[in-house]
């Protein structure tokens, strides 16, 4: 009973990681790779990532051999895990909130973050985007990969239903936005939109799991889920929530450019 209660309280991403899932982004590996291609990281770039997580995207970024890579995470344990999973001699980590990185003004040429703005209040979303603008050089790119709502004219009733179900079943205070709303937040803070991409929110669909994790890890995840009843109960609960709202939610990846001063 104690184990079941403990699992029942855990946030969805923790549950999926415990099951063995490595790719936890809403649009999967495919949308992450599209985002990184659109970011066009190269050896002249100073790159900053907000909340690197397990370090999957950090590895993609560092494979481009940027001039520097800095990860910002307010969780010391997560920061150490990312450092362990990424082998790049020009990598450094900062323990700080993404809304107050401690980095100097105009420090980076590329900043990105995935699956982290969604979990913040509207005001904190704005603070993080504002911080990205502050540390970016004029003309620098800011990329986000987040949970979205669709269509752009989604009703307030459906939006509130999504919020309620995500909070109840995923155990996160998730507040996804429509692509139009995400873009508006970015333009309000001095960015111009360069590219918008999207993918279905199919995080727990068998085809996406296989695509994201590969055959061996997918089999391992299946074994872990089948052999742990409490884990299986939570994951099936999350999958039902995603299925219920499959027409209402998606994954959005946006690249924006910091405007240059006139």
Going by pLDDT thresholds of 50, 70 and 90, the confidence category of residue 6 is low
110-124 average pLDDT score? 94
Contact 29, 212 (CB under 8 A): yes
DSSP labels, 161-219: HHHHHHHHHT-S----EEHHHHHHHHHHTTEEEEEEEEEE--TTSHHHHHHHHHHHHHH
- Domain containing residue 104: CATH number: 3.40.50.150
Helix (H) or strand (E) holding 142: strand 136-149
Tokens 């299946």, residue located: 222
pLDDT for the residue 28: 93
Whether 3 has a pLDDT exceeding 50, the answer reads no
Q: Which of 14-18, 36-40, 58-62, 217-221 has the lowest mean pLDDT?
A: 14-18
Is 15 part of any domain?
Answer: no
209 confidence band (pLDDT: 50, 70, 90): very high
The SS3 of residue 258 is strand
**SS3 state at 14:** helix
Q: Are 39 and 197 in contact (CB under 8 A)?
A: no
Task: Identify the band that residue 193 occupies on the pLDDT scale cut at 50, 70 and 90.
Answer: very high
The CA distance from 166 to 168, in Å, is 6
String of DSSP letters for 68-94? EEEEEES-HHHHHHHHHH---TTEEEE
If you average pLDDT over residues 103-113, what whole number do you get?
Answer: 98
CA 58 to CA 87: how far, in whole Å?
10
- Do residues 254 and 143 touch, judged by C-beta distance below 8 A? yes
Task: Return d(Cα 58, Cα 64) in angstroms, integer.
Answer: 10
**pLDDT of amino acid 9:** 63
Residue 87 belongs to a domain: yes
* Number of structural domains the chain divides into: 1
Tell me the whole-structure pTM to 2 decimals: 0.91
Residue that wins the pLDDT comparison between 262 and 241:
241
In a domain, 190, yes or no: yes
Q: Is the pLDDT reported for residue 162 higher than 90? A: yes
Residue found by looking up tokens 């104690």 in the block:
2
Which residues pair with residue 48 across a beta bridge? 70, 111
Domain that holds residue 143: 24-162+169-201+247-258
Residue 32 domain-assigned?
yes
Q: Give domain status of residue 84, yes or no.
A: yes
Contact 138/260 with Cβ under 8 angstroms?
yes
CA distance 254 to 262: 24
Answer yes or no: is pLDDT of 261 > 60: yes
Q: What is the mean pLDDT of residues 251-261?
A: 93
Is residue 94 within 8 Å of 72, Cβ to Cβ?
A: yes
CB count, 10 Å around CB of 114? 27
Q: What is the pLDDT of residue 5?
A: 47
Q: What's the pLDDT tens digit per position in 228-240? A: 988 898 899 889 9
In a domain, 138, yes or no: yes
The answer to whether residue 70 is domain-embedded is yes
DSSP state of 96: S
Q: Would 235 be classed as within a structural domain?
A: no
249-258 and 136-149: which strand pairing? antiparallel
């Amino acid at each position: 009973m104690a184990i079941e209660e403990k699992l029942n309280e855990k946030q969805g991403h923790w549950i999926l990681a415990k099951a063995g899932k490595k790719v936890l982004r809403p649009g999967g590996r495919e949308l992450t790779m599209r985002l990184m291609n659109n970011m066009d990281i190269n050896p002249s770039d100073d790159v900053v990532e907000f909340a690197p997580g397990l370090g999957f995207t950090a590895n993609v970024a560092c494979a481009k051999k940027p001039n520097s890579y800095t990860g910002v995470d307010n969780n010391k344990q997560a920061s150490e895990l990312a450092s362990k999973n990424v082998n790049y001699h020009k990598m450094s980590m900062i323990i700080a909130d993404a809304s107050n990185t401690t980095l100097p003004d105009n420090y980076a040429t590329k900043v990105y973050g995935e699956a982290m703005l969604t979990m913040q209040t509207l005001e904190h979303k704005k603070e993080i985007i504002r911080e990205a603008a502050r540390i970016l050089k004029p003309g620098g790119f800011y990329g986000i990969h987040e949970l979205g709502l669709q269509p752009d004219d989604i009703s307030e009733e459906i939006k509130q239903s999504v919020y309620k179900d995500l909070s109840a079943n995923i155990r996160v205070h998730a507040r996804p936005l429509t692509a139009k709303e995400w873009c508006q937040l970015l333009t309000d803070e001095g960015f111009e939109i360069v590219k918008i991409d999207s993918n279905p929110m199919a995080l727990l669909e068998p085809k996406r799991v296989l695509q994201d994790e590969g055959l061996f890890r997918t089999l391992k995840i299946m074994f872990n889920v089948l052999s742990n009843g409490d884990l299986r109960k939570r994951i099936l609960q999350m999958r039902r929530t995603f299925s219920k709202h499959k027409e209402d939610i998606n994954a959005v990846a946006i690249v924006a450019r910091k405007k240059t001063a006139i």
